[in-house]
Structure formats: C-alpha cells, structure tokens
Amino acid sequence: MKYHKENQNSITCLLCQHYCTLKEGQVGVCGVNQNQNQNLKNLVYGHPVTINIDPVEKKPLYHFLPSTKTLSFGTVGCNFKCPFCQNWGISQKKDINKDINVSPKQMVELALEHGCKSISYTYNEPTIFYPYAKDVGVIARQNGLRNIFVSNGFESPDIIKDMSSWLDGANIDLKSFNKEYYKKNLKGGLEAVKNTIKMMVKEGIWVEVTTLLIEGENDKEEDLKKMASFLANEVGNFIPWHLSAFHGDFKMKEHKNTTLDRLLFAKDIAKKAGLKYVYIGNIQYPADTYCPNCKELLIDRSGYNVIINRLENGKCPNCKTSIEGVWK
C-alpha cells in the first residue's frame, strides 16, 4: 500500500516519512507524487532524466559485485532540500519531460544490452519514484540482475518491508548525527534514517553507508564518535562506511573543500569504534579492502577501478576469514 485514503478529499502518501496528506490535485514535498482522483499518481513514472552505465564502485558500493557495471538512472524531484546537493540540477527540479518514455521492460533490456550486472536507482531520491523503481526491479530480478538503491534513507517502514522482496543492496547517506541539522538544513529526520539503516539490514538488504564530510557542518568530534558507535554497535561492525570529501556545490559553492587530514581524523575515529571497513572517497587516496583478521590486501582499487581482487569465494585467501558482502 503506497497511500492511505483519509476521507473523500484527501490521501496520505506512504512512500517516505514525510507522510504528506494531499488534497485533490496536490503534490507532496517531493513534487512528483500527486493526489489524482483519490489515487497516488507518480508523475515521473517512465520519465527518467538521466541514464548512465557506471562501475558499481561509483555508487559507492565496495562490497557488492566488485568491478561490475551497473545501469544507473534517476528522475527529477527529491524529498530533502540539502544545500550541498551535488545533483541539484535534477533533484531540486520539478519539470518533467514527458517526451522521454522508458518502460520498466526497456530499462532492463538496456542494462542487459550493456552487460550490466545490476540496476541502480540513484542521482535523485529513488523513494519518490518507488512505483517505477519496483516495476523495473522485479523484471530485473527475473532476468538475473541485482537492484541497488542510493538513498537518503527516509523511506517509510512499509516501503522497506516491500522492497526486501526485490532490492539487493543500498548505499544510505548518513548526512549528520545532529537532529536539528537534519530538520533545519536538510528538511529530513535523523531518527528515521537511523531506523532505515537498521531495518534494511534486518530485512536482508546489503547496506553500505556514506557520509559527505563537510568541515564545520557535520564533522564535530563528538558527533563523529556517536555516528561511528551507532554503526558499529547498533547496526554491525561489518557495515562499510564511506567518508566522502565535500566539494563546493549548489548553495554552498563558497564553502571550503574537505581536507584529507579531516577525513583521516574521521577514519581514525571509525576504526577505534570497531568498524572493519572504512573508506575515504571523492579525493585522491587509496580505498583498498584489507582482511580485518590478518590484514591481507584483498581488493586493490584505483579510483573506481578494481586493479586486483584476491577474494576467493568471498574469503581471504590467506586466513580464510569470510568477508561480508555480496560477491556473486
């Protein structure tokens, strides 16, 4: 159930935790879900604005089918208002180009044609085009493809339970550990995101977490320690955490870029909290995977390219420790 009828005049959208109550003709916070005749109409269904073939490492997912290609697509619209959004040119737009029509079947055929092993729902928040994503994803599964969400983690619990039947992996943005920052700056909610991460893991979806580290905004030592502790102790120390460098964009073009020193500071906190796999991204720095037991180099990466993958059936070739992830 993607919406609930409140009365003869309004419905409540159940896709995300804004739970927008919509009168006839009204659209939600995302700008792309509308009450049409007491039904929830997804206005961007079949109308992607960007489609690309990416390495799966770009999502970023480092423990999910390494060195394979993923077909990535997104639409306009978003349910957050992040001032630093790097895809604001589509996520903060609501003009839908209805001349572009790509059916779920056509999207899967495109992925297969290009030798992709998965389809990624990304660039803007995929929860807001969930009906379209699911229809693509179900057909993808039937054709041996995996499905990936790159999300802000504001899905409703009902949607997470539903997606567990067809979604294989997700990268969730944990943008801060400050409730007021989430509410005031992003127009979202920290507790909702925390619950999404925990629930997705519980539902059997492979999860990796990304934090875009913005100096002076979300990088206080106390908050980083709380964030690392949450991931290690409340979710699981096997969760890969991607610490990504910020570069000025959208409404924060004048803000300074994240330094490598600050990223290494955050990584040190994460490792001390017990997280096994911590990666630095969006900056020139090694992002290799090591065995948490014997420290053997397992996956050597250069940028988004895998140079060497020494895993054997998901295990360290040296000490035979199983490495968490989706490897086949």
295 inside domain: no
Helix axes 260-272, 221-229, angle to 10 degrees: 40
Contact 326, 167 (CB under 8 A): no
Residue 173: which pLDDT band, with cuts at 50, 70 and 90? very high
132 inside domain: yes
Return the CATH number at 117: 3.20.20.70
Q: Are residues 169 and 283 in the same domain?
A: yes
Residue whose structure tokens are 């003009």: 95
Instruction: Locate 121 and state its tokens.
Output: 């729902």
316 inside domain: no
289-290 sheet: strands from edge to edge: 289-290, 297-302, 305-309
CA–CA separation, 111 vs 189, rounded Å? 34
Q: Are residues 244 and 105 in the same domain?
A: yes
With a pLDDT cut of 90, the percent of the chain lying above it is 97
CA–CA separation, 269 vs 72, rounded Å? 32
Q: Are residues 227 and 128 in the same domain?
A: yes
Length, in residues, of the chain: 328
Q: How far is CA 187 from CA 123, 128, 273, in A?
A: 18, 15, 29
Q: Are residues 153 and 223 in the same domain?
A: yes
168 inside domain: yes
* pLDDT top residue among 86 and 128: 128
Contact 119, 52 (CB under 8 A): no
Q: Which residues pair with 175 in a beta bridge?
A: none
Q: Are residues 163 and 260 in the same domain?
A: yes
CA 25 to chain centroid, in Å, comes to: 30
pLDDT of res. 258: 97
pLDDT tens digits, 219-232 = 999 999 999 999 99
The whole model's pTM is what? Answer: 0.97
Write out the residue range of the structural domain in which residue 154 sits. Answer: 46-287
CA–CA separation, 9 vs 22, rounded Å? 8
pLDDT of res. 7: 83
CA atoms in the 13 A half-sphere facing the CB of 57: 21
How many domains would you assign to the chain? 2
Residue whose structure tokens are 């109308």: 47
